[in-house]
């Protein structure tokens, strides 16, 4: 978090996302090399991401796809008044 703020900084989100990816990878008993092979992202990029939270957006999406979490990005920047999900569950 920012030094004098209760709000998280982008760097905080990157680090926590990297930690979550590492946890998901380990839950599946995958090595970093396994994730390399399943995602197509280089070993150096995965290692740097898990260690420092630095990665390109495209590589992050490839990792998310390998971990079956890509669909979560589709709703990330939807307008707050977008009712598509509500319609999906309420259609008769």
pLDDT in tens, 6-15: 888 998 999 9
| Structural domain spans, the chain | 10-90
For position 1, what pLDDT does the model report? 54
18 Cβ contact list (under 8 Å, min separation 6): 49, 50, 51, 52, 53, 55
d(C-alpha 30, C-alpha 42), whole Å: 15
pTM: 0.78
Are 22 and 55 within 8 A, CB to CB? no
10-90, which class in CATH? mainly alpha
Q: What is the pLDDT along the chain (92 residues), one digit of tens a residue?
A: 556 668 889 989 999 999 999 999 999 999 999 999 999 999 999 999 999 999 999 999 999 999 999 999 988 888 877 656 666 666 55
For position 47, what pLDDT does the model report? 97
């Amino acid at each position: 978090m920012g030094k004098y703020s209760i709000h998280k900084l982008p760097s905080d989100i990157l680090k926590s996302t990297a930690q979550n990816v590492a946890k998901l990878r380990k839950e599946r008993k995958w090595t970093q090399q396994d994730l390399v092979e399943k995602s197509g992202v280089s070993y150096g990029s995965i290692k740097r991401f898990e260690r420092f939270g630095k990665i390109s957006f495209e590589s992050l999406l490839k990792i998310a796809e390998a971990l079956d979490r890509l669909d979560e990005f589709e709703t990330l920047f939807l307008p707050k008044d977008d009712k598509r999900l509500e319609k999906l569950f309420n259609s008769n």
